[in-house]
Amino acid sequence: MNVFDIAMKMELDGKAYYESLASQTDLPGLQTIFRQMAEDEQKHFEAFKAMKAGKNLPALKDGTTLAETRNVFETLPRPEMAIKNVKDTLAAYQHAMDVEAESQQFYEKAAGEETNPQLKETLLKIAAEEKQHFDIMENVYHFINAPNQFLSGAEVYNRE
């Protein structure tokens, strides 16, 4: 299997995973984030498919998912309210973070071994988007996990 086949499979797997996460939450904001990330993975797949076919390298536009995610977070309910609406997905979010980190490393390594400057640039751009996906998933994880990490004032001050 060559780098394009591996990358295309990774991107399709990522797309399916984010679509699954979108279906597991009833919070419209999180659904939006996961759908946008699934769309990004589809764009990456299409880019690798074109590269494998020997077509001109597609011009990847800068992703907008990270910027749009900031706006979505402003509309989400407080974490302690949100966690009631989210199924047991903390492990899934952690897994998504791991996958995004591995994807970023894979694309950076492939770019380091690439001699074609255009392909190298495309790989690095996709690696940067995978890093953004990691950052988004990390923020979602911390947002949903916040109630588990919170100590109320009475707990802090009443140590006896």
Q: What does the pLDDT look like over 147-158, one tens digit per residue?
A: 766 655 555 554
Q: Does 151 reside within a domain? A: no
Residue-number span of the structural domain to which 20 is assigned: 3-54+67-146
Q: What is the token pair recorded at 97?
A: 């973070």
Q: Does some domain include residue 61?
A: no
Q: Is 26 among the domain residues? A: yes
- Count: domains in the chain: 1
For the whole prediction, is pTM greater than 0.85? no
Q: Is residue 41 part of a domain?
A: yes
Structural domain includes residue 132: yes
DSSP class per residue in 35-85: HHHHHHHHHHHHHHHHHHTTPPPP-PPPP-HHHHHHHHHHHSPPHHHHHHH
| 156 assigned to some structural domain | no
- CATH number, domain with residue 123: 1.20.1260.10
**pLDDT per position as a tens digit, 13-61:** 999 999 988 888 877 888 888 899 899 999 989 988 988 888 766 566 6
